[in-house]
Chains A and B, each alone.
Chain A
Amino acid sequence: MSDDFNFEIDDILSEFLNDTNNVDKEKVVNEVREELNYDYEMSNISNNDKTVAFKTEQRHSTKASKITKVGNAKKYEEERVHPIIRERRREPFVVRATKSTVGLVFALLSALMLLWAAVNIHPASAKKVNVVLGAKTDLVSKIDNVSNNAKSDAFLGLSAIKKIYKIAENAVAAPTPDPYGFNKVSVSDASKVMSVIQSARDRGLLEEDENTVFNPDADFYYDSDIGYYLDDTILVICWKEVIDGNTCTFSEVKVADASQFRRKFVNDTFSADAQDYATNIAKSVNAVVAMNADYYAFRNFGIVVYQRNLFRFNEDTYLDSYKNYNCVDTAFVDENGDFKFFHRGEESTPNAMEKYIKDNNILFSIAFGPVLVENGELQYCDWYPAGEVNTGYSRAGIGQISSLHYLYMSLNHSPEKAARWTVNQFAQHFYDKGVVNAYCLDGGQTSEVVFMDEPFNYIDFNAERTVTDIIYFGTALDTWEGYY
């Protein structure tokens, strides 16, 4: 309070003294006197305030002694007044009483608001969960499956009872894969992988006449290994191949059941705040192999379906005749694990889309694109709102070779060379691998394939980026069915 007075004088003084033309120091002090037109009334204030005022007085005396050299210090000292008195003299009692009463009312209001806030504001504690997950085990169907598989084992050789493997649709994670099922061999031992493929045939996972894309004679990237995983329900082979001087990463997957092809949103919630690295997300769902999807939270276009629910169908205009929902191609995955495409420019409505999802048993969708190959035909794209389709870039895509047989392909930088393919070039190379359907995923630094909880491809800049979602393949073989 004493400082108030002190500095008010100082402010006025400084204002004058800063002005080099104004050198009349007496005028300065007179200005101060006019500004502070108050009486000195020590008698009306408390002892404590007196002490403060006394200290103020001492300080002012010191300052006044300096001012003596430049002006009329005595007058300055006489004119000073303690700020408490000044404050009290400014406002009449009625005003002060009114203010105090209003202050009290606002204090009560504040208390009520804080109470309301304590009850209602709890960020991230009770989020609105859009996706109903959490049933880790659908026990009835699980017991049925186990019983069926036990019978199959018991009657081995006597009766052909086909084993059933399925991951519950609403499971938050796939069963933990067999740690001994993962292996890596160097590219010089690529032929060893053929015995794994044969083993998959022996287990009935691959049909006898079903070919794989993996070719032990391919031009593998010299500084790489071939990774694979095999159990009764899933075969995964990952490798890096040089095509046209660029390093491509492939992941070929054959699963026993469509439920093993899954999608994961971070926190299992559509449009959650959180993002995470694909490796962490893959780990959280026990993925055998996982890949980036569309990074849906970064854009607001396309159609997003997750767990059979329609979450995004934005009818705002995107550009020209395109709406947000139809400015890109959307890939739907149905309960048979097959792709169905909704093409750019196609018209629909939320209700029609809901019906489409229901009628076609759509489990989830991916909204990036464009469609690269459809029904065995190579597609051409000259303009697309997502990704730089006509410039050289890192690319990623997922394709279907046959029923429950998939191929993921990515083109990334390598330590020696930056990746440079347009979408159409990428589509051509994907098509050459024999896929029937293929769809482009988010590329650039987002394109990543995770195998054994580690990035398998050489990600651009050699570092992962946080994303909001992945697609992944998991084993359907539960630990309690015993894989050791």
Chain B
Amino acid sequence: MNINPIAIYSNSIVIYWSGLIICMGIAAGFFISMALYTASNKNGADMWVFLPFALLFSIFFCRLIHWYCHEEQYVSWYASLSDYSNGSYCLQGALLGVYLGALCSKGLGFAKNTGKILDAIAPGMAIAIAFIRLSSLFNSSCHSKYNVENKLFQGLPFGILTEDTAGNLSYRFATFFVEFLVMLIVAIVLISVYYRLHNSRMKAPCKRDGHIFRIFLVLFSAVELILDSTRNDSSFMHFPGQMKVINKFFGFISIGQLTAAFIIIGVLIYYTKRSVKANGRKPYHFLLWIGYVVSLAIVGGMEYCVQRWTNMYRTIYIGMAVGVIIMTVVTLLMYRSCIYKNYEFDDEYE
């Protein structure tokens, strides 16, 4: 797609479509989060204090990770963190940025509960991410490494027309547009989940808040596990010094996928510990963990396969999707085991 990347040009000011859409997405996500937060009788000031810190930290960490992965793109470390108009970003930094933003809001005496503010932010963040992905449609980077041969899928939302330097045209899988749509769905799901579950009774010692944000993390990670693998511009870890040998085995796993995998296992461990404390050690804990290990093996195996047998990517991604779904369901079931259910109350005491 040949879209002029420049939206506004006036004297020395150039505003790109991508920048405009990213900011519109952040604003839209923020106001939705604000609406959810204030609907719970919370003070909107908490959110306003949160936003600039979250933006600041997100931009910083997104750039820092990108600098780490693509050090040679920048003149120096300092240059990468002082000139933001050149270079790119790794979205994973925004997760940390948002968390730190929430901590700042609490630290300054505004938000009383970090979990509550993060819960409200979760759907908004999904929307912001969706728009960040949409922005790539306007800077010619919304394509994966896979060609789309089937004419039915050559147009959006699945395919996009690309042109190489020799003028050859080809249809590629529109990774970011697909992610935009998926994240919109995730946002809708999270809003619905927010209204249903954000104050769910949790079994002791589980705290009541922060679960919507964890659900968001799991869903976003699930999406990233698959779609980041299809990207042609993923960022990779580079282990230094004596750890260089790790590069051989993990160097081909993108930082997006690694982060996603760590997030999911982190959330699973969090809920497992609380579930075991609340319910005692039960057979389903073992079953869920077996499910997780199996799903991890499927996802890891499929990632290996898709890099080896690229031409079978359709089948492999279906397999990977199955693994990711199992992984997500396992984690959410573990979360569910921490929710206090009414019928338990009734059964026990009537």
Contact = CB atoms under 8 A, between A and B. Distances in A.
A17 B166 contact: no
A341 interface: no
A204 interface: no
A445 B305 CA distance: 13
Given A4-B40, A117-B22, A120-B84, A104 B48 contact: yes
Size bin of chain B's contact surface: 35 or more
B145 A123 contact: no
Contact of A463 (B22, B110, B202, B309): B309
A78 B64 CA distance: 56
B43 A280 contact: no
B200 A125 contact: no
Nearest to A279: B147
B52 A106 contact: yes
Interface in A81-106: 83-84, 87, 96, 99-100, 102-104, 106
B246 to A, nearest CB: 13
Contacts of A218: none
B13 A117 contact: no
A274 B18 contact: no
Given A14-B340, A83-B41, A122 B345 contact: no
B20 A106 contact: no
Contacts of A463: 308-312
Interface in A438-484: 445, 461-466
Contact of B43 (A99, A118, A122): A99
Given A99-B43, A463-B311, A464-B310, A125 B139 contact: yes
Given A117-B55, A119-B19, A275 B233 contact: yes
Interface of B: 5, 13-20, 22-23, 26-27, 30, 39-41, 43-46, 48-49, 51-52, 55-56, 59, 70-73, 84-89, 110, 135-136, 138-141, 145, 164-166, 168, 170, 199-204, 208, 232-236, 238, 247, 251, 278, 307-312, 340, 345-346, 348-350
A273 B166 contact: no
A240 interface: no
17 contacts: A14-B340, A103-B45, A103-B49, A107-B51, A110-B30, A115-B23, A118-B20, A119-B19, A122-B22, A123-B88, A128-B73, A273-B73, A274-B141, A277-B310, A300-B71, A462-B311, A463-B311
B16 A122 contact: yes
A298 B136 CA distance: 24
A268 interface: yes
B5 A125 contact: yes
B309 A127 contact: no
Contacts of B350: 66, 69
B38 to A, nearest CB: 10
Contact of B55 (A10, A110, A464): A110
A124 interface: yes
Contact of B139 (A106, A123, A274): A123
Interface string A112-146: 01110111111111111010000000000000000
A309 B5 CA distance: 29
B56 to A, nearest CB: 7
Contact of B346 (A66, A464, A465): A66
B279 to A, nearest CB: 10
Interface in A221-279: 268, 270-277
A285 interface: yes
Contacts of B40: 1, 4
A119 B23 CA distance: 10
A271 B27 contact: no
Nearest to A463: B310
A286 B166 CA distance: 7
A99 B47 CA distance: 11
B201 A125 contact: no
A273 B70 contact: yes
A3 B308 CA distance: 52
Interface residues of A, number: 73
Interface string A144-177: 0000000000000000000000000000110010
Most chain B CB neighbours (cut-off 10 Å) among A96, A115, A124, A176: A124
A118 B15 contact: yes
A312 B72 contact: yes
A172 B70 CA distance: 23
The 5 A-B residue pairs with the shortest CB-CB distance in the complex, in nearest-first order: A103-B45, A284-B164, A122-B16, A273-B233, A271-B72
Interface string A189-233: 000000000000000000000000000000000000000000000
B52 A110 contact: yes
Given A4-B199, A106-B45, A122-B19, A271 B310 contact: no
A284 B17 CA distance: 26
B187 to A, nearest CB: 19
B164 to A, nearest CB: 3
Given A7-B201, A87-B41, A126-B16, A109 B52 contact: yes
Nearest to B204: A15
Contacts of B199: 3-4, 6-7
Contact of A113 (B52, B251, B310): B52
A115 B24 CA distance: 10
Contacts of A461: 308-309
A69 B203 CA distance: 22
Contact of A284 (B56, B87, B166, B346): B166
B17 to A, nearest CB: 8
Nearest to A385: B244
Contacts of A128: 73, 86-87
Given A10-B340, A106-B49, A283-B164, A121 B204 contact: no
A270 B71 CA distance: 11
A11 interface: yes
Contact of A124 (B85, B141, B310, B340): B141
Contacts of A17: 345, 348-349
Nearest to B168: A283
A381 interface: no
B23 A117 contact: yes
B235 A99 contact: no
Contact of B145 (A110, A270, A466): A466
A117 B166 CA distance: 34
A114 B41 contact: no
Given A14-B204, A18-B204, A284-B165, A465 B307 contact: yes
Contacts of A286: 166
A275 B88 contact: no
A275 to B, nearest CB: 6
Contacts of A122: 5, 16, 18-19, 22, 85, 139
Contacts of A123: 18, 87-89, 135-136, 139, 141
Interface string A11-48: 10111011000000100000000000000000000000
Nearest to A67: B349
